[in-house]
Structure 1
């Protein structure tokens, strides 16, 4: 029996990249994984791989820039023991060139969806006396770099929310942590505009 047997893990943005790798890792440790993303085909591929390796998973489509979709995802996920807020949107370039649509998408997916899912699911974890929230921030949150102002600001907000939630939910047995990876291969490809 593994440490996550019988536990449910919701991982946003788990159809690709860091989220997909996290889904595989948690499933290998016994978690029932809720795979989320916008691409149903990629989501089913992740689910099928987990199931082929003896794990348990299901797919729930969600566009995290849409608050109604986020609320639906929180309801459909059910009782969640591990929430990994991984999904993110990034648009890079000079600050003056970032459109209102790009700005809104980054704030919606990278901050509001994280807030909305955590405040829907963490209080229930606290009532049960256990759970874990893992927020994927970024090294960009603490490094001022060119052509990255809005994305970096959203990830700094995630880091700040993490500290506040650790203080709020920690006394009830809920661990709240952030990880801050550097650039990944997918992020580099997207930045260069080739994916």
Structure 2
């Protein structure tokens, strides 16, 4: 059995995946199905986190997925992933998705997202991951950006759990939206 590393670099986590989009990948409007793209993103997040940690990894959460531009049949989709942040047992993997029209060479940014992956040992229990070595200012910025998103998510979860949606003020707030409140 290999000895587990105490630290690792962002570079060691980098993975690139390219795939030609086929008609079998489309949704009802003829564009590449978002669910298919999410599947590819989950695969590359797994590969990046597992390569970095040397462990089997599972997806714990996905932070905001914005579909920026549609992907067409026949375009070459390229996903690039790397570990941006590590905790004790988790890693945040940043993913960038671009598509290229291979006939014209036009490249579009289609998606960026962040997957939180958790390392597991042979018995399926969470296990520690190596310390992250940051080698340039872009890696430092990405680490700080991940920290900011983690803190924002903690605040959002706290606000959601403490919000009283049954109060008169909350129900009055709904009146400015396209809803009809018909409660007993």
Query: Same fold judged by TM-score > 0.5?
Result: no
TM-score computed with the length of structure 2 as normaliser: 0.25
TM-score computed with the length of structure 1 as normaliser: 0.24
Higher relative contact order (CA 8 A, sep 6+): 2
Give the number of the structure whose residues are more often helix, by fraction: 1
Larger Rg: 2
